[in-house]
Amino acid sequence: MYYTPHTLYKKSETLGKDKYGRPTESVEEWVEIGKCRCDDNSIQEFHDENGKVYRPHYKIVANRDVNVKVGDFVKVEPNRAEGRVFNVTHLNYLDYSTIWL
């Protein structure tokens, strides 16, 4: 991508275990996914299978090989956007993905 002024991060949560295999505490960290472009969204709206209308606040355009799934919590730095992923679209011909928050 030619214009990528922002950096995309994904929240990674690992669950710690004691010597008996019981969960003890979870450790959260932000993992850098790559460069991206984040735009405000004011027009696009989606309808889910139950008929609920969802208007995402941000549209993120990143490389096609991003490891982001629906439901992941992501943020865009520097202090641009943060939220749960609603939809991820990978294009066939062009080499980028679109992520909606």
Q: Which domains does the chain have, with CATH numbers?
A: 6-100 (2.40.10)
Dist. CA 34–CA 72, nearest whole Å: 15
Q: Which two tokens stand for residue 80?
A: 């641009």
pLDDT value of position 17? 85
| Statement: residue 74 has pLDDT above 90 | yes
- State the pLDDT at residue 11: 94
Residue 8 has pLDDT above 90, yes or no: yes
Is residue 1 over pLDDT 80? no
Q: What is the largest CA-CA distance in the chain?
A: 52
**Which residue type, as a one-letter code, is found at position 51?**
G
CB-based contact 12:28 (threshold 8 Å): yes
6 beta partners: 36
Q: What angle do CA 12, 14, 20 make, to 5 degrees?
A: 175
Mean pLDDT across the chain: 87
| Beta-ladder partners of 82 | 75
Q: What is the pTM of this model?
A: 0.79
